[in-house]
Amino acid sequence: MKRLVKLLISLVVWTTGSLLRLARRLFAADPGAEAVVLYYHAIKPRQRMAFARQLDLARRYAKPWRLDLPPQTSTGRYVAVTFDDGFLSVVEHALPELRKRDFPFTVFFPTGSWGQRPSWIRNPAHSSWEERVLSREELRTFAADPLVTIGSHSITHPNFLQLDSTTAAKEFAESKRELETVLGKEVGFFSFPHGAHNEDLVRQARDVGYQRVFTVEPFVTDPSSPGLVVGRVLADPDDWPIEFHLKLRGAYKWMAKHRHGRAQ
């Protein structure tokens, strides 16, 4: 029921937004550009075809946006695809479908579980209990694909709101340093585990050297000027088709609790 209520509210948001966009076009106002950044976790074998259908829909609706590059134009709709946790299932089941469609994507990687089951998942009933995080060598090979951008997802995947400043600084800096050593290039993106963040943590991430940080707040982004903090919309291959349609259209933005401006 909770899922259905969210969908119905999002449908109202989308309808209202569509009417406003139509009004702007009628008055020749520049609509600008907008982007929705999706985030996934694992892609299981049974989900591969559903994930492929979502990619096809995303390409029909919007232009793929590679997050480390500016958008192609200053107008229109864009969509970016990201994955948290660095799971092997993304390589096995998502990467082939992304390659078929020349669809760029970003993976946020935790450096404390190389080649192992995710250490932060302690409940055997969790849907990702049997997932495995890539090894260093696997990540190095994976990251060589021109479609892939790698960001940090901390060391131990903690709730940053529960950390003291010193421990948070270690999670930010050492994960960045290790990924850069493995990949031989700069890592400029960070995704907060569990989406747990506040303004102080955002500033701390910036001071460590991250150019952009990603949350789980589902707000729509201006891809031509995204700022330091970028919100994302949770996507899953098991989403109902209408759910995914509305997520692509930014209709779940009403659920965002925090809005961040650009870094000062």
CA–CA gap between residue 190 and residue 67 (Å, rounded): 12
What does the pLDDT read at residue 11?
62
Task: Return mean pLDDT, the chain.
Answer: 90
Whether the Cβ atoms of residue 81 and residue 107 lie closer than 8 Å to each other? no
Model pLDDT for residues 176-220, shown as the tens digit of each residue: 999 999 999 999 999 999 999 999 999 999 999 999 999 999 999
What does the pLDDT read at residue 27?
56
What does the pLDDT read at residue 225?
87
Model pLDDT for residues 78-129, shown as the tens digit of each residue: 999 999 999 999 999 999 999 999 999 999 999 999 999 999 999 999 999 9
Q: How far apart are the first and last CA of the chain?
A: 41
What does the pLDDT read at residue 129?
95
Model pLDDT for residues 131-182, shown as the tens digit of each residue: 999 999 999 999 999 999 999 999 999 999 999 999 999 999 999 999 999 9
Q: pLDDT confidence of 253, banded at 50, 70, 90?
A: confident
Whether the Cβ atoms of residue 218 and residue 234 lie closer than 8 Å to each other? yes
How many C-beta neighbours within 10 Å does residue 213 have?
25
Domains and CATH numbers, the chain: 36-241 (3.20.20.370)
